[in-house]
């Protein structure tokens, strides 16, 4: 390794991810939100998809600089977009890694475009990186980048962060290319995972199927290389998020909503419209709240913000239809002349506006069926005021549950229990709300986005030791 890699003279980061934040519309995803601050502070380069699908895509990426961050943006061909993005990444890897083997569309199985796209992006990295740069590859779209780079003789350090869960080995083995993917992962030097369970799952796979040997706490000796598997729960820029919650756009959005709410209590949900987020179950739980606790009718509103994503994949079209139907049914059953039980907004909002909406909400429902981390849980806590904080209800299947134990933890499939927990949250005394919030806020504030980055890099790059996870 080069020696000029010190905190005073940090290596340049080269991030690789499918979506970049060059298009502000792509800033709703957790990955984009998380990467932006890290790249900006190191004058980094972000290699990603241009968002363009062309008949004859250019072989050289487009270069753009925005707000101190350089971008190298690759176009895709139509077969590549379908085969790589829609089919392999989003109809096979995404459901499989979220434990939804029932939703994996094996008919769309088409590995060649996935390989080809990984090769193309690896080339874009190779053409724009210096050997001492730290290459930081993100997420399930790009398991093969390091493997492609190593094939071409790249010896520099390459890290990988998986934003989604790593499934148990028996589920991972259901992927037709599990062996190849497992082998390719071993070409990374460090692999960051959201939870300790994800680390255990990957470690087990490397030991059981790849002949790996555990060395010390984090390392696995496998295929003649040492791969570090690190538990790195992603955080948010908590202090700035709180500032945003106090800013003008936040207050304006909150005022607008307050006019509609007219003193009612507000439950909020904010998610990409994805089947992993447990939205139909959440709507059912809210329906049960109004059913079992009639006193909540007319005085409590639930607002779900859910911008559609991946809306050409079948499962997402079906989800949209299901939510439209559920919302209509619940509002039809319980609504009154002066009260709408569910406000369902299928569009994105500015981050600052969302911060304001969190800040004025009494309860936040974060109930994914499976989630790598879930940043909404952390944003809600960061946006609250200590004097009168709201209550977080959090799924036991969100990675965030491992860190945020003081939330009201629920099983999102058990809609009855979620309804009971909602009732408890709406009636929680101030003292208990404050105590829970205080503990949660400490975690969110200290284990923030910079802490996450430092933990991922240590003892390489920016820090010399691995920042501890507070317990």
Catalytic residues: 163, 371
Nearer residue to ligand ADQ within complex by CB, 137 or 149: 137
Q: For ligand ADQ, which is the closer residue by CB, 305 or 342?
A: 305
- As measured in angstroms, the least distance from the Cβ of 303 to ligand ADQ is 11
Q: Which of residues 302-321 bind ligand ADQ (CB under 6 A)?
A: 305, 307
| Spatial separation of the C-alpha atoms in residues 169 and 11, rounded to whole Å | 35
Nearer to ligand ADQ, 34 or 129 (CB): 34
Candidate segments 54-62, 175-183, 184-192, 367-375, binder of ligand ADQ by CB under 6 A: 367-375
List 354, 360, 364, 392, residue binding ligand ADQ (CB under 6 A): 354
Q: Is 30 in the site for ligand ADQ (CB under 6 A)?
A: yes
- Is 375 an interacting residue with respect to ligand ADQ (CB under 6 A)? yes
Residue with smaller CB distance to ligand ADQ, 29 or 335: 29
Q: Encoding tokens for residue 8?
A: 């005073």
Which of the stretches 46-54, 222-230, 328-336, 368-376 binds ligand ADQ when contact is defined by CB under 6 A? 368-376
Using CA atoms, how far apart are residues 254 and 356, in angstroms rounded to an integer?
A: 5
Closer residue to ligand ADQ, CB minimum distance, 165 or 169:
165
Distance, in Å, from the CA atom of 63 to the CA atom of 153, rounded to the nearest integer, reads 25
* Token pair recorded at residue 286: 């809210």
Q: Which is nearer to ligand ADQ, 411 or 434 (CB)?
A: 411
User: Which tokens go with 123?
Assistant: 């080339």
DSSP state of 386: T
Q: Which of residues 227-256 bind ligand ADQ (CB under 6 A)?
A: 234
Regarding beta strands 363-366 and 265-270, do their DSSP bridges make them parallel or antiparallel, or are they unpaired? parallel
Scanning residues 154 to 173, which ones bind ligand ADQ (CB under 6 A)? 163-164
Give every CB contact of residue 361 below 8 A, 6+ residues apart in sequence.
Answer: 266, 267, 268, 303, 380, 390
Task: Look at residues 93, 51, 110, 94 and name the one whose alpha carbon lies nearest to residue 76.
Answer: 51
Joined together, the tokens standing for residue 420 give: 């009971």
Q: In the window 262-281, what residues touch ligand ADQ (CB under 6 A)?
A: 270-272
At closest approach, how far in Å is the CB of 27 from ligand ADQ? 7
**DSSP one-letter string for 312-367:** TSHHHHHHHHHHHHHHHHHHHHH-BTTB-SEEEE-S---HHHHHHHHHT-SEEEE-
What part of residues 73-132 is at the interface with ligand ADQ (CB under 6 A)? none
- Using CB atoms within 10 A of its CB, is residue 37 exposed (0-12), middle (13-18) or buried (19+)? middle
Q: CA 164 to CA 162: how far, in whole Å?
A: 6
Q: Is 33 in the site for ligand ADQ (CB under 6 A)?
A: yes
Residue 29 in contact with ligand ADQ, rule: CB under 6 A: yes
Instruction: For residue 152, give every residue at least 6 positions away whose Cβ sits within 8 Å of its Cβ, in sequence order, or none.
Output: 122, 126
Piece of the chain touching ligand ADQ by CB under 6 A; list 324-332, 336-344, 365-373, 429-437: 365-373
Residues forming contacts to ligand ADQ in the complex (CB under 6 A) are: 28-31, 33-34, 163-164, 234, 270-272, 305, 307, 348-349, 354, 371-376, 379
């Amino acid at each position: 390794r080069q020696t000029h890699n010190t905190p005073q003279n940090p290596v340049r980061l080269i991030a690789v991810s499918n979506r970049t934040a060059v298009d502000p519309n792509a800033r709703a995803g957790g990955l984009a939100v998380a990467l932006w601050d890290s790249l900006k502070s190191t004058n980094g380069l972000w290699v990603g998809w241009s968002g363009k699908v062309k008949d004859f895509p250019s072989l050289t990426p487009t270069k753009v600089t925005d707000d101190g961050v350089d971008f190298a943006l690759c176009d895709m061909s139509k077969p590549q977009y379908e085969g790589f993005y829609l089919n392999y990444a989003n109809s096979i890897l995404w459901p499989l890694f979220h434990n939804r083997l029932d939703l994996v569309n094996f008919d769309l199985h088409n590995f060649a475009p996935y390989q080809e796209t990984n090769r193309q992006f690896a080339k874009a990295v190779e053409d724009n990186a210096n050997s001492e740069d730290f290459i930081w590859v993100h997420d399930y779209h790009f398991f093969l980048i390091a493997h492609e780079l190593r094939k071409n003789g790249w010896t520099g350090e390459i890290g990988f962060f998986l934003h989604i869960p790593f499934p148990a080995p028996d589920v991972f083995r259901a992927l037709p290319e599990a062996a190849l993917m497992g082998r390719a992962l071993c070409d990374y030097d460090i692999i960051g995972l959201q939870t300790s369970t994800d680390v255990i799952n990957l470690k087990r796979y490397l030991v059981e199927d790849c002949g790996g040997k555990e060395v010390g706490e984090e390392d696995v000796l496998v295929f003649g290389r040492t791969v570090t598997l690190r538990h790195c729960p992603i955080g948010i820029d908590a202090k700035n998020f709180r500032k945003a919650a106090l800013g003008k756009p936040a207050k304006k959005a909150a005022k607008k909503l307050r006019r509609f709410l007219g003193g009612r209590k507000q439950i909020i949900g904010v998610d990409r419209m994805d089947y992993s987020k447990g939205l139909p179950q959440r709507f059912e739980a809210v329906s049960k709240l109004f059913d079992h606790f009639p006193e909540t009718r007319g005085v409590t509103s639930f607002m779900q913000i859910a911008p559609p994503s991946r809306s050409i994949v079948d499962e997402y079209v079906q989800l949209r239809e299901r939510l439209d139907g559920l919302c209509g049914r619940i509002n039809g059953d319980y609504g009154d002349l002066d009260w709408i039980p569910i406000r369902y907004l299928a569009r994105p909002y500015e981050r600052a506006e969302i911060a304001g909406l969190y800040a004025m909400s009494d309860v936040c429902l974060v109930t994914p069926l499976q989630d790598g981390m879930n940043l909404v849980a952390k944003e809600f806590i960061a946006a609250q005021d200590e004097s009168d904080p709201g209550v977080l209800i959090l799924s036991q299947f969100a990675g965030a549950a491992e860190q945020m134990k003081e939330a009201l933890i629920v099983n999102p499939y058990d809609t009855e229990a979620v309804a009971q927990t909602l009732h408890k949250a709406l009636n929680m005394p101030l003292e208990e709300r404050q105590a829970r919030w205080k503990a949660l806020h400490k975690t969110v504030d200290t284990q923030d986005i910079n802490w996450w980055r430092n933990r991922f890099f240590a003892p390489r790059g920016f820090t010399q030791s691995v920042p501890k996870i507070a317990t």
